[in-house]
Amino acid sequence: MKLEKLLYHQLRLGRREARRVLAEGGVTVDGKTATDPLLRVDEFSLVEHEGRVLQGKQRRFLMVHKPAGHVSSVGHHQHPTVLDLLPEDLREGMHYAGRLDLTSTGLMIVTNDGKWSRRLTEPERDVPKVYRVATARDIGADVLERFAAGIYFAYEDITTLPAELEILGPREARLTLHEGKYHQVKRMFHAVGNRVTALHRERIGPIELDIAEGRWRDLSDAEVEWVAAG
Residue 119 or residue 129: which is nearer to ligand URA going by CB? 129
> What stretches of the chain adopt beta strand conformation (E)?
27-29, 32-33, 47-49, 52-55, 61-66, 95-96, 105-111, 129-135, 152-153, 158-159, 164-169, 172-177, 196-204, 207-208, 216-218
Q: Give the shortest CB-209-to-ligand URA separation in angstroms.
A: 14
Which residues, in sequence order, are CB contacts of 21 under 8 Å at separation 6+?
7, 13, 27, 49
Q: Give the shortest CB-8-to-ligand URA separation in angstroms.
A: 45
Residue 92 or residue 122: which is nearer to ligand URA going by CB? 122
Q: Give the shortest CB-200-to-ligand URA separation in angstroms.
A: 9
Residue 3 or residue 177: which is nearer to ligand URA going by CB? 177
Q: Give the shortest CB-116-to-ligand URA separation in angstroms.
A: 21
Residue ranges that bind ligand URA, judged by CB under 6 A = 100-101, 104, 183-186, 199
Catalytic residue among 42, 101, 138, 210: 101
Residue 183 or residue 195: which is nearer to ligand URA going by CB? 183
Residue 56 or residue 180: which is nearer to ligand URA going by CB? 180
DSSP H helical segments within the chain, as ranges? Answer: 3-11, 15-23, 88-91, 114-121, 143-149, 184-191, 221-229
Per the document, the length of the chain is 230
Q: Which amino acid is at 20?
A: R
**Is 142 annotated as catalytic?**
no
- Say how far apart CA 211 and CA 66 lie, in whole Å: 10
Q: Give the shortest CB-103-to-ligand URA separation in angstroms.
A: 8
Looking at residue 121, the DSSP 8-state letter turns out to be: H
Distances (CA, A) of 213 to 69, 114, 129, 229: 12, 25, 18, 29
Query: Catalytic residues, which ones?
Result: 101
